[in-house]
Amino acid sequence: MTMSFDVWAPIPDHGELVADGQTIALQPDPDNGWWRLPEEARDSIPAGAEYGYRLDHAEGLTPSPRSRWQPHGVHELSKAYDFDDFEWTDQKWTGRQLAGGVIYELHVGTFTEEGTLDAAIDKLDHLVELGIDFIELMPVNAFNGREGWGYDGACWFAVHEPYGGPAAYQRFVDACHGRGLAVIQDVVYNHLGPSGNYLPQYGPYLDDTVQSPWGSAINLTNPGSDQVRRYIIDNAVMWLRDYHVDGLRLDAVHALIDTTAIHVLEEMAVEVGALSTFLKRPLSLIAESDMNDPRLINPREAGGYGLTAQWSDDFHHALLANLTGDDTGYYADFATLDALGKVVETGFYHDGTKSSFRGRRHGRRLDTPTIPTWRLVICSDNHDQIGNRADGARLSNHQTPQQLKLAAMLTLLCAYTPMIFMGEEWGATTPFMFFSSHPEPELAEAVTKGRYEEFALMEWDTSLVPDPQAYSTFEASVLDWHERETAPQSEILAMYRQLIELRRTYPDLSDPRFEWISAAFDPEGHWFMMDRGAELSVAVNFDMEEARIDLEEHPEVLLQIGNVTVDGGAVVLGGHAGAVLLMTNSPPSGRVEGSARR
């Protein structure tokens, strides 16, 4: 695919391309706001040329809005990059459907000591042995500074140079496919980073009348929005087509303010569906949303947007609240076994119910007879839940190895699509803190001050909140791969491998039918039981004291955590997070029903 130097720029009255020292006047297309490179100049720009645009005779040059390569940073010249120069070896790769899969989320910069895509390739065999199907990369688009989470990207089409740039990204995807691993790329279409964003000089990319948590919203409805929407969808297509990526995780879609008849997410789903048909491999679109809105994943035939899946924070909140006893903030509604039972059985806890955190009704019920369970992605920890804690603490920083195994058992043996955050599989002790490296002093100070003020409102001792701009904050978040080799980390890793293998062994554990899931629990004894199909049940004890669950027949123990004994027709779970996977043909007697199907 050859490079195009045409640019959409309806705001300036004059445009020039400056490439490797030569200046070429662009030809305006008054009908649509595009500036075109003259036909006679299309072959005059050499491969690898560094280039930028001069708008309205400005003294300086601005990088390309669709730059594929920013080797010197987001404020500097773009560099021509041809995707076709890479020799792919994944011609036999036919893709992987999300159904039945296990996702592994990682941040390139802290996944290895080197913090590069090439270094990450060396860890892929570990993920294959673990049983992973999809690797989900946190954003890799170019952002200002060297270290960061990537959600403040300024150049959506360029791969962050410290990670290795576009060629390294192609090598990474190719290596994943060679090992049978699919790749999901986390993309951010709801805002642009505060530094390096030159798009408003070109066109009306932002809507200043609508404010998001990050400033002016992306223009999806006002004049010029057709091309802004095209910009978003072209970016999505680039990852899937040109980089051979298998799916996208769409960040915070609730911040995409779109009042048009066809939402940009539906528009994207239609186009990605057409691309999937052409490429003859499945392509997944996974929404991060806090709306609990089934329309995201309902098929278009039923009035939905037709996305593949969405994150379900309700599972995380219910699991964590019952595991840790935390009932503060948004955990308040989830700190009962009733809440966990409802989430396990129906997907959402808030499905039109009152949310005390929001002070209003929230969510809408899933159409469980028709929606398969795998359309919900769940986890016990992820980058947000860890990094948004003041100290970046993981579950493993505060919970016992036995509690971590219990959380893994419920997550990996539940009916939904499980996701693991990097290092979770061995109970990594390294935190994952919020970090940035803005070189502008004013912006750096504002980020640090904002972080401190945020947690001061939560009555945290701000002296305990790491400075996001300090290199030590980033450095402390890098995984320590050596610790997985010794107990208890090695034992946790063995448990994760075993749990994922069980998903491959017993069809009931990946069965996507909601009607094959049921929950039982005892609020006083603090035991919880999740039935998977006709034969398998997962029983856990959240209490410090042992719990007894009476069954109608003698069960077979397939996997256990802590002290577990079978006494005739009963199973006894030890305190401090005893758990067991049972093969049984009967529910517990004296079963306490959850509220999910009331």
Which residues form the catalytic set?
251, 288
Cβ(26)–Cβ(7) under 8 Å?
yes
- Residues paired with residue 376 on neighbouring β-strands, in sequence order: 310
Angle at which helix 401-412 crosses helix 313-324, to 10 degrees, equals 150
Rounded CA separation 311/273 (Å): 20
CA-atom Rg of the chain in angstroms? 25
- 3-state secondary structure at position 300: helix
What burial letters (b/e) apply to 562-593, b meaning 16+ CB within 10 Å? Answer: bebebeebbbbbbbbbbbbbbebeeebeebbe
Residue 361 sits at φ, ψ, to 5 deg, of -70, 150
Tokens (6 digits) for 153: 């990207």
Q: Is the dihedral of CA 567, 570, 573, 574 positive or negative?
A: negative
Alpha-carbon distance of 396 to 551, in angstroms, equals 33
DSSP single-letter state for residue 26:
P
Phi and psi, residue 501, nearest 5°:
-65, -35
Continuous H helices in 122-197: 124-130, 165-178
The answer to whether the CB of 425 falls within 8 A of the CB of 132 is: no
DSSP for 65-102, written as a single string: TT-S--TT-TTS-EE---GGGS----TT-----STT--
Q: In 3D, which of 70, 64, 73 has the Cα closest to residue 437?
A: 73
- CB-CB contact of 228 with 220 (8 Å): yes
